[in-house]
Amino acid sequence: MTLRLKINLIVSALTLLFMATVVELQLRNMRDSVREEVEAANRVAAQMLNRTAWLYTSAGVPAMLSFLEGVGRVRSNDITLLDAQGHALYASPPATYKMGRDAPAWFARLISPTPAVMAIDFPDGKLVVSANASRAVLDAWDDAVRLVGLGLALLLALNGCVFWLVGRASRPFGRITAALDEIQGGRFDVRLPPLPGREAASIGAAFNRMVAQLQSHIETERRAIRAERELTDSRELARWVDRQIEQERHMIARELHDEFGQSVTAIRSMALSIAQRAGAVDAQAGEAARLIAAESSRLYDAMHGIIPRLTPLVLDNLGLAGALEDLVERTRRSQPAVAVELDLALGEARLPGDAALAVYRAAQEGITNALRHGRAKSLRLRVEADAGELRLCLVDDGRGLPETGADAGAGAGVDGGDHHGLRWLAERVEGLQGRLRIGPAARAGAPGTKLEVRVPLPEGAP
């Protein structure tokens, strides 16, 4: 049901209620008027006939009959003349006023007064006067019909006027509804023109503000989605580049180890052989050969120091546990003043190549940062597999993190120019659905730093 129809029904109900009240008051007035008229006419007729009856008593019934026939109809009264035996000698003629019409019986019962009957006795007969309100009731009925007809005409005119006015006043709301339907259909550039009426104008202005805010939010969300997509693409590209770099490093390390390493070893062997053979014949040539052998040894050692930084070939050969043991052993050899403790509890856990490399790089980056930036003197590395994930924890006794990076989550404390390696590491760990956390070591006597990496184990892995 529309608002327009509801308002019309309410106006109709109020108008009908008003009309019913008016009709009820009018019916009361009609009932009182009819009763007053009938009673007055009956009283006048009774007084007149009562006096006349005594005048014609001596003349007898024929004189009374002649008188009544000369009088005719008395308004609102029925007159009957009876002889001594009770036979009707005379009855007043029917009323000529509005002859042939009568009010409905229900209406007559509604407003007619109680019929009044008066009898006048004389020696040889009786005169009966009865009140008759039919003409007065008919007048009241005609007035009531005119009143109801006027009321119905007023009701129709009022409803038509209200219907037109409400339709005109509610026309702007149809435009508002159409604009809302367009928004629901996906058009967010809808604008409402200035609408007539204070309420409609306020709603239209609020609607335009809402659409402007909605467009702003949608544009912000689009930019956020675009930025997120670009960030995801950048991360995917960075991971692809990282994999390519790792493959190139692995290939270069293999070339250095297999080809260049064998060549350097061959050069050293040949130099030592020349030194042994030419030492007794040409001392200068023997010394040159020994220098070549020494340089070859230093080159071989330098090459084997570069290979682990390029890629841990030992990870392919010995697995994660062996690679970490090799990393710790090389750290102890290169930093004899630093105490490095290793605790492995991997059990039978096996990680894919990317995850194992990420864990190794985390340990490598953490040790490098602890020694280079933290000036640590003691390191404790623990790697364990438990509850479906592998956990690496590196704790040092160095200078600790800056205040902005203390006790932060993945990627925290890695925003400085010297910590791009940790930012790269955080991206790599997150790409494996893992978590990286850097915070204070919480050790008594020294601030220190704690690096923690958690990487999920593949389903079904021991």
Percent of the chain with pLDDT strictly greater than 90: 2
| Tokens encoding 35 | 């009763």
Instruction: Give the separation between CA 175 and CA 183, rounded to whole angstroms.
Output: 12
Instruction: Give the separation between CA 331 and CA 309, rounded to whole angstroms.
Output: 12
- The runs of H, that is alpha helices, within 112-197 are 134-184
Among 64-68, 362-366, 393-397, the least confident range: 64-68
What are 171-227's pLDDT values in tens digits? Answer: 777 777 888 887 778 777 787 788 787 777 888 888 788 888 888 888 888 888 988
Q: E strand or H helix at 378, and its extent? A: strand 378-386
Q: 10 with 18: CB under 8 angstroms?
A: no
| Tokens encoding 101 | 């019409």
Q: What is the pLDDT of residue 114?
A: 79
Q: 60 with 124: CB under 8 angstroms?
A: yes
Instruction: Give the separation between CA 38 and CA 34, rounded to whole angstroms.
Output: 6
Instruction: Give the separation between CA 110 and CA 137, rounded to whole angstroms.
Output: 10
Task: Name the burial class of residue 193, with classes exposed (0-12), middle (13-18) and buried (19+) by CB atoms within 10 angstroms of its CB.
Answer: exposed
Please indicate whether residue 96 or residue 221 has the higher confidence score (pLDDT): 221
CB atoms within 10 A of CB 284: 8
Q: 136 with 76: CB under 8 angstroms?
A: yes
pLDDT beyond 80 at 462:
no
Question: What is residue 79's three-state secondary structure?
Answer: strand
Q: What is the pLDDT of residue 131?
A: 78
Please indicate whether residue 410 or residue 252 has the higher confidence score (pLDDT): 252
CB atoms within 10 A of CB 290: 16
Please indicate whether residue 45 or residue 459 has the higher confidence score (pLDDT): 45
Identify the band that residue 60 occupies on the pLDDT scale cut at 50, 70 and 90: low
Q: What is the pLDDT of residue 408?
A: 42
Q: What is the pLDDT of residue 406?
A: 42
Please indicate whether residue 189 or residue 385 has the higher confidence score (pLDDT): 385
Percent of the chain with pLDDT strictly greater than 70: 86
Straight-line distance from the first to the last Cα atom of the chain, in angstroms, rounded to the nearest whole number:
69
Among 12-21, 292-301, 303-312, 390-399, the least confident range: 303-312
List Cβ neighbours of 235 (8 Å cut-off, separation of 6 or more): 427, 431
pLDDT beyond 70 at 138:
yes
Identity of the residue numbered 235? R
Please indicate whether residue 252 or residue 25 has the higher confidence score (pLDDT): 25
Tell the CATH superfamily of the 314-462 domain. Histidine kinase-like ATPase, C-terminal domain (3.30.565.10)
Among 51-65, 313-327, 430-444, the least confident range: 51-65
Backbone angles phi, psi at 45, to 5 degrees: -65, -40
The mean pLDDT of the chain is: 78
Q: Which of 366, 363, 365 is nearest to 346 (CA)?
A: 363
* Average pLDDT of the segment spanning 142-151: 86
pLDDT beyond 80 at 245:
no
Q: What is the pLDDT of residue 184?
A: 79
pLDDT beyond 50 at 414:
no
Q: 20 with 118: CB under 8 angstroms?
A: no
Question: What is residue 440's three-state secondary structure?
Answer: strand
Q: What is the pLDDT of residue 168?
A: 74
pLDDT beyond 80 at 356:
yes
What are 316-337's pLDDT values in tens digits? Answer: 777 888 888 888 888 888 888 8
pLDDT beyond 50 at 407:
no
Q: Which of 408, 459, 460, 461 is nearest to 435 (CA)?
A: 408
Please indicate whether residue 408 or residue 29 has the higher confidence score (pLDDT): 29
Q: What is the pLDDT of residue 311?
A: 64
| Tokens encoding 112 | 């007619």
Identify the band that residue 388 occupies on the pLDDT scale cut at 50, 70 and 90: confident
Task: Name the burial class of residue 312, with classes exposed (0-12), middle (13-18) and buried (19+) by CB atoms within 10 angstroms of its CB.
Answer: buried
Instruction: Give the separation between CA 64 and CA 84, rounded to whole angstroms.
Output: 13
Report how far apart, in Å, the C-alpha atoms of 260 and of each of 28, 254, 302 are.
Answer: 128, 9, 12
Q: What is the pLDDT of residue 59?
A: 65
Instruction: Give the separation between CA 133 and CA 108, rounded to whole angstroms.
Output: 9
Q: What is the pLDDT of residue 9?
A: 84
